[in-house]
Chain A
């Protein structure tokens, strides 16, 4: 009897854990009533009110009761710019946190985002795996992954100007603590990537890794596929090979 009970308990626990996993990973990622799917969000016109359920992937900044957050569900990403958020709630927005966001779809320099938004925290959790988009660089398909957590493999660090492997600010006019700009190439094409200092400041590993890059280094990178007049990824990790 004891053996039977033990087996039953084990089976029950296994199912329970699997259930937790399914909920935590939001396998189905079903949307609540009145909430758009990612496809509906993409189809929505600019300036339209949008309601989405999404998961926090990273936080860029909080200021003056406004938060800027990178979020993503299983189908695509949503960049939340200056969303109404108390400092207390900002602390709750840890990676994976599910939130329901109501705001307006907007576009700023090619970056499609949700602005003037409010949010509420819901049950559920999802942290996206980085999608390798190296082969999509330079293609029209890349924009379909805008704002997603992505990775780039085996790219080569190029001269950012005067032999430097990176610049403080876009033209080198900045100083330590400012955004870092660096050029990397793949398949003969060069792209400018950024370490956004609000997202990863000068105390972070990625900021200091980029400061130590050398022209010619081969690197793997992860980050968010931000847009500014073209692709301008906000890099969160760099591994020198």
Chain B
């Protein structure tokens, strides 16, 4: 049974959090930059904390536990203590709180958007490029005691998603995209044939056609009095992907905000039209797309491929009572597109970052564990829990993984067809995936993109008019709500910190005086030398 907690936590205001970090930075000396030790000191014992996220999925918890046990066998002097979360918002929140007290975890599952906020504090997150390349302990390093991966074996595109301003601050852990889980039975009952690639026009048209009712107040297509033909789980992704497909603005790499443009407005007008007819709704407004899909009350359910085990009549995970489940054929399709020749879909999924500590040996121990999560055992096992895909070519090409994919539909548990189709969708379209620029404030911008849709749909359901005046107000309200008007979001991390503290002023003055004295000494010595030579 799922719940709605993530709804609340996704509304975190990153800008407030940045402010907390900035205040924290003023008051503390911070950590020194991490330096890779020459050797890993195996004579010492280490205790590291790992904050992990599971999709309220017991198997994932068991895989983490197994990975820790296996790692501790290889490195008996490293003890890994895991703390489990069921949503990224909680992790983000707790990391922020713990940065200010210097009690961050050692290793953490996270999103690059969140790391961008963590980086507001100095030397909080360990930059990984030097570690990647380290001959002994880097990716494929000579002193690694397990069958690790080389940098070339990490899918380049996924690795690049972990870079901020050209520096890697994370390694990918799992990747997913969004899929449209379609009730093919109902589409055909409405007289339509699914195209090879879904288009927005097709989805809107079928959704409106499905709203036809009989004389008893039931929808003709399902014979029930409840139907929301099209439900989108993550409306931030919806807006982001629509804009990308239209080649319209969202943000620049530098963090300039382009979201509030005319294309966005056009999209919102279309969404409003279908929100008004109630052919379209969202997770936040109605509930999980899977619940409606499985009850025969939804035709197009868009959710992460990492939610595939909840989708379909035979889904291994189900949140509605058995008597409500309706039998239908599920088709796993790419999210709707504007240009079927050039499809675009979001790349998402958890990454792993390593937090800096005063003890560089402890950081190295943390890095070894982070690397261990890229081994085939972990990658293949975890990706099989949902419609994730491994992030290494080594795992993707492993016989075990190829065999797993080939057994799609053999059972409704490990080889549940919808789940494996969802993984295949991502595997077949890696080149069509994209990510949005990461900067301090990008998490807020993402929330704002979704909020535009949520607010518009709520408004039309409540009988409000959506026109130019409405749009102007909406843009203003959302800009203000997510504080996107306080300079660009990107500059939040570079905000004016106010006058320097007195201690800093004194330190800088002393440093300047010392440099002047050193310079004077050097000049005097040079003059003396010249005189002696002369």
> Which A residues form the contact surface with B (CB < 8 A)?
47-49, 61, 63-64, 66, 68, 82, 104, 106-109, 116, 169-175, 178-179, 181, 192, 198, 228-230, 232
A109 near B8: Cβ-Cβ < 8 Å: no
Taking the complex as formed, is B398 at the interface, i.e. its CB lies under 8 A from any CB of chain A?
no
A49 near B320: Cβ-Cβ < 8 Å: no
Which segment of B54-62, B217-225, B403-411, B487-495 sits at the interface? Answer: B54-62
B13 near A64: Cβ-Cβ < 8 Å: yes
B462 near A108: Cβ-Cβ < 8 Å: no
**Known: A61-B8, A174-B86. Is A108-B1 also a contact (CB below 8 A)?**
no
Q: A49, A109, A230: which has the most chain B beta carbons within 10 Å?
A: A109
B56 near A47: Cβ-Cβ < 8 Å: no
CA distance A173 to B2 in the complex (A): 11
B288 near A109: Cβ-Cβ < 8 Å: yes
**Known: A108-B4, A198-B5. Is A47-B11 also a contact (CB below 8 A)?**
no
Q: Which residues 2-55 of B have a CB within 8 angstroms of A?
A: 2-5, 8-9, 11-13, 54
A173 near B56: Cβ-Cβ < 8 Å: yes
Some 29 contacts from A to B, beta carbons below 8 A apart, are A47-B463, A61-B8, A63-B8, A63-B11, A64-B11, A64-B12, A68-B8, A82-B8, A104-B458, A104-B462, A107-B286, A108-B4, A108-B285, A109-B288, A169-B86, A170-B1, A170-B3, A170-B56, A171-B56, A171-B57, A171-B58, A173-B60, A173-B86, A174-B56, A175-B83, A181-B1, A198-B5, A228-B3, A229-B291
* Complex interface: chain B residues within 8 A of A48 (CB): 462
B319 near A173: Cβ-Cβ < 8 Å: no
Taking the complex as formed, is B415 at the interface, i.e. its CB lies under 8 A from any CB of chain A?
no
Taking the complex as formed, is B321 at the interface, i.e. its CB lies under 8 A from any CB of chain A?
yes
Closest partner residue, chain B, to A68 (CB atom): B8
Interface string of B306-322 (1 = CB under 8 A from A): 00000000000101110
Name the distance in Å between A109's Cβ and chain B's nearest Cβ: 4
Name the distance in Å between B443's Cβ and chain A's nearest Cβ: 14
A169 near B56: Cβ-Cβ < 8 Å: yes
* Complex interface: chain A residues within 8 A of B4 (CB): 108-109
* Complex interface: chain A residues within 8 A of B84 (CB): 173-175, 178
> Which B residues form the contact surface with A (CB < 8 A)?
1-5, 8-9, 11-13, 54, 56-58, 60-61, 83-84, 86, 285-288, 291, 317, 319-321, 458, 461-463
Chief secondary structure at chain A's binding surface = loop
Task: Specify which of A68, A172, A230 is in contact with B321 (CB 8 Å cutoff).
Answer: A230
CA distance A48 to B463 in the complex (A): 9
A178 near B86: Cβ-Cβ < 8 Å: yes
B458 near A116: Cβ-Cβ < 8 Å: yes
Given contacts A108-B286, A171-B56, A171-B58, 10 further A-B contacts (CB under 8 A): A47-B461, A64-B12, A68-B8, A106-B285, A107-B286, A116-B458, A169-B56, A170-B56, A173-B84, A229-B320
**Known: A116-B458, A229-B320. Is A109-B291 also a contact (CB below 8 A)?**
yes
Name the distance in Å between B131's Cβ and chain A's nearest Cβ: 30
Name the distance in Å between B169's Cβ and chain A's nearest Cβ: 26
A47 near B1: Cβ-Cβ < 8 Å: no
A232 near B1: Cβ-Cβ < 8 Å: yes
CA distance A103 to B83 in the complex (A): 38
* Complex interface: chain A residues within 8 A of B3 (CB): 170, 179, 228
Task: Specify which of B12, B58, B83, B285 is in contact with A172 (CB 8 Å cutoff).
Answer: B58
B288 near A173: Cβ-Cβ < 8 Å: no
Name the distance in Å between B2's Cβ and chain A's nearest Cβ: 7
Name the distance in Å between A5's Cβ and chain B's nearest Cβ: 60
CA distance A171 to B286 in the complex (A): 23
* Complex interface: chain B residues within 8 A of A232 (CB): 1
* Complex interface: chain A residues within 8 A of B287 (CB): 108-109, 229
CA distance A178 to B60 in the complex (A): 16
CA distance A171 to B57 in the complex (A): 7
CA distance A181 to B291 in the complex (A): 19
* Complex interface: chain A residues within 8 A of B11 (CB): 63-64, 66
CA distance A181 to B86 in the complex (A): 15
CA distance A134 to B287 in the complex (A): 28
Closest partner residue, chain A, to B286 (CB atom): A108
CA distance A106 to B287 in the complex (A): 11
CA distance A173 to B60 in the complex (A): 8
B286 near A173: Cβ-Cβ < 8 Å: no
CA distance A5 to B467 in the complex (A): 72
* Complex interface: chain A residues within 8 A of B86 (CB): 169, 173-174, 178
CA distance A107 to B56 in the complex (A): 23
**Known: A104-B462, A108-B287, A179-B3. Is A173-B61 also a contact (CB below 8 A)?**
yes
User: Closest 10 interchain pairs by CB?
Assistant: A170-B1, A109-B287, A173-B58, A47-B461, A171-B58, A175-B84, A173-B61, A229-B320, A47-B462, A172-B58
CA distance A159 to B57 in the complex (A): 19
Closest partner residue, chain B, to A196 (CB atom): B3
* Complex interface: chain A residues within 8 A of B461 (CB): 47
Name the distance in Å between B349's Cβ and chain A's nearest Cβ: 18
CA distance A66 to B7 in the complex (A): 12
* Complex interface: chain B residues within 8 A of A173 (CB): 54, 56-58, 60-61, 84, 86
CA distance A178 to B85 in the complex (A): 9
CA distance A170 to B54 in the complex (A): 13
* Complex interface: chain B residues within 8 A of A170 (CB): 1-3, 56
CA distance A171 to B58 in the complex (A): 6
CA distance A159 to B201 in the complex (A): 49
Name the distance in Å between A99's Cβ and chain B's nearest Cβ: 20
CA distance A140 to B370 in the complex (A): 52
* Complex interface: chain A residues within 8 A of B317 (CB): 171
* Complex interface: chain A residues within 8 A of B321 (CB): 229-230
Closest partner residue, chain B, to A48 (CB atom): B462
Name the distance in Å between A224's Cβ and chain B's nearest Cβ: 14
Name the distance in Å between A180's Cβ and chain B's nearest Cβ: 12
* Complex interface: chain A residues within 8 A of B5 (CB): 198
* Complex interface: chain A residues within 8 A of B319 (CB): 229
Closest partner residue, chain B, to A179 (CB atom): B3
Closest partner residue, chain B, to A168 (CB atom): B84
* Complex interface: chain A residues within 8 A of B12 (CB): 64
CA distance A219 to B2 in the complex (A): 25
Q: A63, A173, A179, A192: which has the most chain B beta carbons within 10 Å?
A: A173
Closest partner residue, chain A, to B93 (CB atom): A63
Closest partner residue, chain A, to B1 (CB atom): A170
CA distance A172 to B86 in the complex (A): 11
CA distance A181 to B317 in the complex (A): 16
* Complex interface: chain A residues within 8 A of B288 (CB): 109
Closest partner residue, chain A, to B11 (CB atom): A64
CA distance A49 to B464 in the complex (A): 12
Closest partner residue, chain B, to A175 (CB atom): B84
